[in-house]
């Protein structure tokens, strides 16, 4: 039976499993007995390209079927500083799971910054999780966060850019339409502050991610990077979601609208 290796982002963990990605995502979201519910975001990794920093020998020892032949669902190999030790060439597809177990696969693409938006909103996912407003575009934002010459930095980062709507170019008067962020007036104030003080490129909107991403607010995609390498996972357009991933999308848009 084939074995898989996953990098979970919520929370950060390296997990071996005998479940393929769609089944693993369903398991992570709702469990084996359908008694829990929660989003999951994870990468599939190429086992052969992950080095010996981790106890990979446990995969053969512990990732085995039970006495009834059922596949082993999860074997945790690490829960601390995982992302920084995963080589870029080991990253395969990214999977977004709704809290009822629907799974969307995102493959790597080429990032092309086509819009002229002055302001950006980022939800960092790993290894730190603040929501940040910034005047820096995604690639520049990666460079800022991973600059080891600065007193505050991370070796590698994963984040998603979020929609700002009209606030991206007009934080003073732009309408706040379909932006389900908490404390929205604080977001507006921070964006206005960035336009008046360009010497400070970023402001913290929310200090801690609580594990629930409003997928419908994803602007362009997910980013992985450091000073030297960057990966991009484009998020489908609304038309693509409706035409090709309707069941997942219907589940995703319900998040945040129910009490």
Which residues, in sequence order, are CB contacts of 247 under 8 Å at separation 6+? 102
Taking 70 as the pLDDT cut, the residues of the chain under it are 32-36, 115-116, 255-259
This prediction's pTM: 0.94
Bridge partners of 161?
122
User: Can you list the alpha helix ranges (DSSP code H) found in the chain?
Assistant: 21-30, 57-62, 138-145, 184-196, 238-244, 246-253
How many Cα atoms are found within 13 Å in the side-chain-facing hemisphere of 46? 8
**Per-residue pLDDT at 34:** 54
Cβ proximity of 60 and 5 under 8 Å? no
d(CA 148, CA 152): 8
Structure tokens at 109: 């693409």
Tokens 């690490």 correspond to 78
Burial group, residue 39, by CB count within 10 angstroms (0-12, 13-18, 19+): buried
**Per-residue pLDDT at 95:** 98
**Per-residue pLDDT at 131:** 97
**Per-residue pLDDT at 21:** 98
Tokens 């290796």 correspond to 5
**Per-residue pLDDT at 75:** 98
Structure tokens at 126: 């790993």
d(CA 16, CA 64): 10
Query: pLDDT for 216-228, tens place per residue?
Result: 999 999 999 999 9
- The domain segmentation of the chain, as residue ranges, is 4-106, 120-236
């Amino acid at each position: 039976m084939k074995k898989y290796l996953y990098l979970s982002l919520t929370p950060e963990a390296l997990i071996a499993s005998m479940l393929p990605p769609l089944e693993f995502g369903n398991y992570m979201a709702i469990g084996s007995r359908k008694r829990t519910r929660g989003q999951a975001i994870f990468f599939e990794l190429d086992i052969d390209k992950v080095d010996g920093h981790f106890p990979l020998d446990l995969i053969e020892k512990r990732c085995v079927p039970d006495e009834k032949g059922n596949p082993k669902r999860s074997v945790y190999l690490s829960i601390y500083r995982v992302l920084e030790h995963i080589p870029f060439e080991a990253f395969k597809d990214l999977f977004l799971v709704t809290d009822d177990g629907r799974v969307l696969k995102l493959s790597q693409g080429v990032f092309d910054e086509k819009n002229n938006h002055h302001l950006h909103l980022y939800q960092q996912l790993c290894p730190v999780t603040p929501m940040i407003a910034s005047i820096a575009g995604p690639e520049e934002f990666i460079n800022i966060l991973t600059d080891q010459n600065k007193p505050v930095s991370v070796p590698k980062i994963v984040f998603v850019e979020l929609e700002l709507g009209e606030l991206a170019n007009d934080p003073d008067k732009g309408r706040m339409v379909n932006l389900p962020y908490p404390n929205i007036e604080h977001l507006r104030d921070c964006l206005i502050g960035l336009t008046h003080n360009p010497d400070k490129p970023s402001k913290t909107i929310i200090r801690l991610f609580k594990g629930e991403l409003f997928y419908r607010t994803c602007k362009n995609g997910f980013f992985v990077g450091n000073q030297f390498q960057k990966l991009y996972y484009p998020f489908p357009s609304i038309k693509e979601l409706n035409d090709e991933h309707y069941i997942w999308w219907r589940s995703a848009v319900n998040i945040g609208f129910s009490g």
